[in-house]
Amino acid sequence: MKSIKEKANEYVLGFHSSIQRMCKESYIDGANYVLEEIEKLLPKEDKNLNDYGKALVWRIKDAIEQLKK
């Protein structure tokens, strides 16, 4: 899985150099906003989750961290 920064670099390939930085920053900011909103939906505590639910939440949190690198 590629990080958001890696995907942003791919996204701006071919853009005029004068707008690459702005577009890259907007891409990263937008993607991070979405991840933050998803994190808010995850349960704070996993005491009410079964093993599958706990594993799923852990995998989602891990994927979010990988994307943010």
Task: Break the chain into its structural domains and give their ranges.
Answer: 4-68
Whole-prediction pTM: 0.83
Say how far apart CA 48 and CA 9 lie, in whole Å.
40
The whole-number pLDDT of residue 66 equals 95
For residues 11-32, one letter each, b for 16 or more C-beta atoms within 10 angstroms of the residue's C-beta and e for the rest, the string is bbeeeeeeebeeebeebbeebe
Say how far apart CA 29 and CA 6 lie, in whole Å.
13
pLDDT digits 0-9 by tens, 12-58: 999 999 999 999 999 999 999 999 999 999 998 888 899 999 999 99
Report how far apart, in Å, the C-alpha atoms of 43 and of each of 7, 25, 62 are. Answer: 28, 29, 14
